[in-house]
């Protein structure tokens, strides 16, 4: 292996945009919230839908505020963990459609995404240039006199 060997996640990161992650997450959240009901009907569970949408809404805000590779990686990890939780819940416990796993896992991933929130706030804050600040202070003093 060469020293420039890329991992699968690094290669995938170049192909996926944050918008695709958000759209896939919204679709996955709605699929996770749909459960079979009676013979030929489906029921949409609002708590599972809302809990599933939270991490992707937070990811969209983070991706807009902080344009760093770590945000996209965390978005891909969130999508993967959410998909695995859905597959495990539907495959192993298909008789129990309203288990708390599909509520807890997305909320846990949202908490993990919140770790980047302070960094995103610092990155999106306007930068003050020392010269501009001195000019504004002089202007304020002149307007007071």
pLDDT tens figures, 48-93:
889 999 999 999 988 888 877 888 888 888 999 999 988 888 777 6
SS3 string of 60-92?
HHHHHHCCCHHHHHHHHHHHHHHHHHHHHHHHH
- The whole-number average pLDDT for the span 119-127 is 73
Q: Please give the radius of gyration of the chain, using alpha carbons only, rounded to the nearest integer.
A: 22
- pLDDT, residue 33, reads 86
Domains of the chain: total: 1
Q: Which pLDDT value is given to residue 1?
A: 45
Q: Note down the domain range covering 137.
A: 8-144
Does an H or E element contain 34, and which? strand 34-37
In a domain, 106, yes or no: yes
Position 33 in a domain: yes
Q: Tell me, yes or no, if the pTM score tops 0.95.
A: no
Q: Read out DSSP for 94-115?
A: TT-TT-THHHHHHHHHHHHHGG
């Amino acid at each position: 292996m060469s020293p420039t060997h890329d991992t699968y996640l690094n290669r995938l990161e170049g192909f996926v945009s944050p918008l695709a992650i958000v759209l896939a997450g919204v679709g996955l959240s709605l699929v996770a919230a749909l459960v079979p009901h009676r013979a030929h009907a489906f029921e949409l569970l609002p708590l599972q839908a809302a809990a599933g949408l939270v991490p992707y809404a937070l990811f969209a805000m983070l991706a807009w505020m902080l344009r760093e590779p770590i945000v996209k990686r965390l978005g891909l990890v969130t999508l993967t963990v959410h998909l695995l939780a859905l597959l495990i819940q539907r495959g192993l416990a298909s008789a129990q459609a309203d288990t708390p796993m599909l509520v807890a896992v997305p909320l846990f991933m949202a908490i993990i995404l919140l770790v980047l929130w302070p960094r995103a706030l610092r990155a999106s804050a306007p930068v003050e240039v020392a010269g501009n600040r001195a000019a504004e202070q002089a202007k304020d003093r002149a307007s007071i006199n």
